Structure 1
Amino acid sequence: MVRSTHGPSTTPELSRSQQEPGRGGEAGAPAHRWWVLCIIGIAQLMVVLDATIVNIALPSAQRELGFSDGDRQWVVTAYALAFGSLLLFGGRLADLIGRKTTFLIGLIGFAVASAIGGAAPNFEILVMARALQGAFGAVLAPSALSLLTTSFTDPRERGKAFGIYGAIAGAGAAVGLLLGGLLTEYLDWRWCLYVNLIFAFAAFAGGLRLLRPGAPSDRPGLDIPGTVVVSAGLFCIVYGFSNAQQHAWGAISTWGFLLVGVVLLVAFVWWQRRAVHPLLPLRVVGDRDRGASFLAMFISGAGMFGVFLFLTYYMQRTLLYSPVKTGVAFLPLVAVLVVTSMTTTNALVPRFGAKPIVPTGMLLSGGAMAWMTTLDRDSTYAAHVMPPLLLLGLGLGLIFATSLNLATAGVRAHDAGVASALVNTSQQVGGSIGTALLNTLATSAATHYLSGKRPTPAVVAQAQLHSYSTAYWWSAAFFTFGFLITFLLFRPGVPRAPEAAPEESATPAAI
């Protein structure tokens, strides 16, 4: 059980309720922890679905605001840049000033940024609002996961909680596609941003009432040099890969940023070994299971975001689905992912451990991607699209729920925020890299297919299918690599309960 490293609880009124039979469950767990899970789930869903909900609204926004195809990517990239580069800082901030405080600040900021974006009169304001959403999302996301980590300490309840959270993390992107289609088709593209006000209000009202205030009394100082270096490094990495979608890999605006990003991240690791109060204590990533979990989130993020992108194109351009019908088509994946996530953390991990489960999820996901390469113009949804989607939902459910649980298991209370941030960073950066790589490879494949051919509508349509197939094969390769990595790194057997350090007290961490 994870125990706090500080003194008496800052919330004695809640401590009393925690000890009442039938109300609080195990000592040290909030009596209202399942309501806390609902609040965290709403906030996490808002952050995750916002990565895809705007994609559906982009054509309508472009027509109304009049920006070019070249500028269009910045509506998506601005969010990814701010979110990916500031996540570690947001996680450490949660550890320093208290997770309730950063959670509520993140919700308010995200809601204000969404309102600005929804009312945007021009392209520049919309991009600025998306960047603000990403910045406040970087504060909100790690706070949410670390609140979950410190609220659920009993292994059985922790499994259920992380099963639900893993389902939200995996299914949020698909939910975003559906919700974006519904709002764009029946209301207006601006509601794809305004809808966040509803989510934020519900989570803020519940969080203000139920979350415990306070910050660790022994909190270390903020590692400002480390914060600047890692934020700049992550920015360069995400920007470099995002830029590759428009420019050649040989362009200095692509490889130059990637090179600088790698150098800065290496410098960050070097600095963390010497800093008095490191932003990312290396003990957080030193555990084998935890390190394997971060890599699993990174690799699955790269493969998952790719399939959502190209399968969306396929359904809308080849099968001629509407945005709403496209979103509905992803619902079977969501359903299987939710059920699998719950079953995995409650029944499979406690019995078999992570080693057989996450690699199996990688193989199933890779198999689903290979299956999708058979899709063509004559494919039907029930016979050809849905079966690999169901298989992918099964694979991702095995990966996400297990990795999210083990990535934060056993961390010290004052490291929970930065460990949670690293999970989100892994998935976000993996998604950015995967999307850029797959988009570049798919575009090159289409160009190569059209070379020397007359560009008739039938040939162009076939070139599109060829590009999608190329992306699916590479996604399958990502998951195959993920199988090898996770099989080698995860320890065999049931996860061990983390031991508390001798000097740690038994009081719950202030959140």
Structure 2
Amino acid sequence: MSASTQPIIRRPAVSALALICAAQFVLQLDFSIVNVALPTIQKELGFAAADLQWVVTGYALTFGSLLLLGGRAGDLLGRRRLLVLGLTLFALASLTCGLALSPLMLILSRFVQGAGAAFVSPSALSLLTTTNAEGAARNRALSIWQASTAAGASAGVIAGGVLTQYLGWRAIFLVNLPIIAVLLLLIPRVIPDDKRTGRERIDVLGAVLVTASAAALMYGLSSGQQQGFGSLGTVLALVAAVLLAVVFILVERTTTAPMMPFSYFSSSTHRAAVGAILFMGAVLAAYVYFTSLYMQRVLGESALLTGLSLIPSTATVILTSTFATRRLFDRLGVKRLLFIGLTLMGVGQVWLSFMTSGGSYIVNVLPGLLLTALGIALALPTASIGATTGVDRREQGLAGGLLTASQQIGSAVGLALLATLAAARTEQTGSLAAGYGFSYLVATGIVLIAMVLVATQLNHKACQSELARQHQESVQTRTDALLHKG
């Protein structure tokens, strides 16, 4: 077996996968865990209404905008090293969040928390893909990874309700500390230090430009939600985002060591998969967010019961991703299964769009949640397989960064847009339920765009041929390893 094909982890893959998915679960947990605690945080720390949203968007801002830098840094500096650094930074920021004495201290801590997450997520995903050979092993690992991602986002609402009601809002941040402590103790025992993939310089200018562009876009959208999209600050931020993105593209096309090689997007499968993940991120964040608001503000349920009401959807994601997605993938392939998953998501959003002020959880919420969760469980792992198929091992960190960045930026941008539209609809009709229902209708349109992208861009035959080739190489690699041992 050559050095280029030998997995960097020789210890049991299950242990490594468990640690990697646990780290991802914590990151996604913290994206959604604050939602049900926001009213309590506002009251105790004295947040102004316009500033409260930064507790959520501050985390998403740095998480999404620094992911590409994290992916490239992991490739060049060492993935385990960056994983440990990111988890340490995340833990320290969680501590300062839990001890925050002012709104500014909490917001700044959330920024740092997001930065730590941006180093952890792509490093963890690239470790997963480089320690599982392309084919059945990697596909199964990616299914479990996406299950932990979706479960973390859904469980955040549940944990937020339980912890806030019984231990106070500070517990939603401090709960991270023992989990991360265990991870930091186990990582050196399970994941050996990986070698750097090269001595190339990190594209600092590209990292600054893409981070600034994403930050300006997210700020413009969140500002538009609060101040209106015609305000001077919002317009300037959105214009700056576009200009910075153009400069970034020009720089990446001319630099010798680009942070984001455009050759990755020469594959129509990669384009379709990353685009689908971007749009699915918007739906995933919005359906949890608006369901939580509907349960509390319209149906009058407590934060605890609201969190518990999401358990069926969380269980659906975990069970389907773990036990059904891989089997269906082997039968249907990337394109067909991804399209089916998106269809189920769309039907779920349509169901939720019919929520009314006099509705109920059983009739108006639960069926839509289950359909959406089932679609996510089928579509997200499948899109992840498409996004990482055929990527050189040296670029796995980049692919991981693109994949996770797409989902996080899609979540932030989609939620900001849908929240703005929901607020406008509520103002027109005087009904919160009408506003939330309209947001789900728009989310259906987002899913339809993803379906068109997959139908027109994803080459089913080429993708399946590549997967078959990778499977043959994986079998040959294992055979060579056995012969070498013999």
Tell me the distance in 2 between the aligned counterparts of 1:406 and 1:4. Answer: 25
Indicate the residue corresponding to 1:467 in structure 2. Answer: 435
Aligned-partner Cα distance in 2 for 1:377–1:257: 37
For residues 16-415 of structure 1, the aligned pairs below 5 Å read: 30-343=10-323, 345-415=325-395
Residue 214 of structure 1: CA displacement?
A: 3.0
Contact 2:158–2:306 (Cα < 8 Å) also in 1: yes
Q: Out of 491, 498, 506, which is 2:459 matched to? A: 491
CA contact (8 A) 2:61 2:114 kept: yes
Residue-by-residue CA offset, 1:29-61 (whole Å, 9 max, x unaligned): 633111011101111011111111012222112
1:480 counterpart letter in structure 2: L
Supply the distance in 1 between the matched residues of 2:470 and 2:344 (Cα, whole angstroms). 34
The SS at the match of 1:379 is coil
How far 1:217 moved relative to its partner?
Answer: 4.8
Return the offset for 1:377: 2.9
Secondary structure of the residue aligned to 1:70 is coil
2-structure distance, mates of 1:352, 1:284: 25
* Alignment equivalent of 1:479, drawn from 447, 452, 457: 447
Q: Deviations over 1:394-422 (max 9, x none)?
A: 11111111112221222222211111011
1:427 match = 407
Which range moved further: 377-386 or 293-302? 377-386
1:67-117: CA deviation from partner (whole Å, max 9, x where unpaired): 211111111121121112111111111011100000000111100010011
The offset of 1:179, in angstroms, is: 0.6
Q: Counterpart amino acid of 1:486?
A: V
3-state SS of paired residue (2:274): helix
Whole-Å separation in 2 of the counterparts to 1:146 and 1:101:
13
Q: Is this contact kept in 2: 1:84–1:238, CA < 8 A?
A: no
- Structure-1 separation of matches of 2:302 and 2:236: 39
1:12: which partner in 2? none
User: Is residue 233–residue 264 contact of structure 1 (8 Å, CA) maintained in 2?
Assistant: yes
Instruction: Read off the aligned partner of 1:467 and give its amino acid letter.
Output: G
Q: 1:317 to 1:221 in 2, by over 3 A?
A: same
Is contact 2:9–2:191 with CA below 8 Å preserved after alignment?
A: no
1:383 to partner: Cα distance = 3.1
Aligned-pair CA distance for 1:5: 4.8
SS of structure 1 residue aligned to 2:192: coil
**More contact order relative to length (CA 8 Å, sep ≥ 6):** 1
What is the DSSP-based 3-state SS (H/G/I as helix, E as strand, rest coil) of the residue aligned with 1:353?
helix
Name the SS for the 1:71 alignment partner: coil
Distance 1:109 1:224 in 2: 20
Distance 2:317 2:343 in 1: 15
Matches within 5 A, 1:437-448: 437-448=417-428
Range with greater deviation from structure 2 (372-381 or 84-93): 372-381
In structure 1, the gaps of 5 or more residues are 10-26, 451-462
Q: Deviations over 1:171-219 (max 9, x none)?
A: 2211000011111011110010001112211221121211121333524
**Who is 2:484 aligned against?**
none
Kindly provide the CA deviation profile for residues 448-496 of structure 1, in whole angstroms up to 9, marking residues without a partner as x: 224xxxxxxxxxxxx1111111101001110111111111111214352
Q: Is the 8 A contact 1:366 1:476 kept in 2?
A: yes
Contact 2:8 2:194 (8 Å CA) reproduced: no
- Relative to structure 2, which stretch is displaced further, 260-269 or 178-187? 260-269
Residue 267 of structure 1 aligns with an amino acid whose one-letter code is: V
Q: Deviations over 1:252-294 (max 9, x none)?
A: 2223212211221222122222110111112223222222111
Give the TM-score normalised by structure 1: 0.88
Equivalent pairs counted in the alignment come to 472
Distance 1:278 1:92 in 2: 9
Task: Give the conservation status (yes or no) of the 8 Å contact 1:219–1:414.
Answer: no
CA distance in 1, matches of 2:459, 2:321: 20
RMSD over aligned Cα, in angstroms?
Answer: 2.1
Give the Cα separation in 2 of the matches to 1:279 and 1:53.
32
| Contact 2:94–2:113 (8 Å) recurs in 1 | yes
- Aligned equivalents of 2:250, 2:324: Cα separation in 1: 37
Report percent identity of matched pairs: 34
Instruction: State the alpha-carbon separation in 2 of the partners of residues 200 and 224 from structure 1.
Output: 29
Measure the CA separation in 1 of the matches of 2:87 and 2:118: 11
